[in-house]
Amino acid sequence: MATARFYHLTRDPVEALLPTLIGKANEIGLAVALRGAAQERMEALDRVLWLGEGFLPHGLAGGPHDADQPCLLTWDQRAPAELPNAPGCLVTVDGAEISAEEAQAVERLCVVFDGMDEAAVARARDQWRQLTGAGVAAEYWSRESGRWECKAKHPKE
């Protein structure tokens, strides 16, 4: 079961963190599912990831090579086990749904939220309560000091 890692964005947009999260998962041999809440948003992220610095291989769900994608961008609620690229890492953005069962099915789970958007922060807090209430371990990560640091854990150590 994965520990749910909540990444509170206050300095950079989600587009700046995704290459790091996806790249690190790929480095350890995990395929990634990047789940958003809307198809249009995932199409926009697809363009950004292709145009960004460095090469980050990925594809939008629904293509002919979904099973071969090291990172599959999706907006539906299929469980990781139902996705053709069999992801070991699930990254959610924009408040996309995540269940405790999904946290149990992957090795790595990242919930990325915009700290400048009150609704996004409230949604992340709801997701934290839902997951930890179901017995999923969780960590809260912040970059307020300039570098990413784990600021809270549940259960507390």
Residue 79: what pLDDT? 83
Residue 18 has pLDDT above 80, yes or no: yes
CA-nearest of 41, 99, 19, 5 to 82 is: 99
Residues of the domain holding 44: 4-154
Q: Specify the CATH number for the domain of residue 126.
A: 3.40.50.10110
| Alpha-carbon separation of residue 157 from 52, 125, 136, 137, 138 (angstroms) | 38, 20, 14, 11, 11
Tokens of 18: 């995704």
Position with higher pLDDT, 55 vs 154: 154
**Upstream peptide bond of 19 is cis (omega within 30 degrees of 0):** no
**pTM score, whole prediction:** 0.94
Q: Is 41 helix (H, G, I), strand (E, B) or coil?
A: helix
Strand 108-114 vs strand 89-92: parallel, antiparallel, or unpaired?
Answer: parallel
Structural domain total, the chain: 1
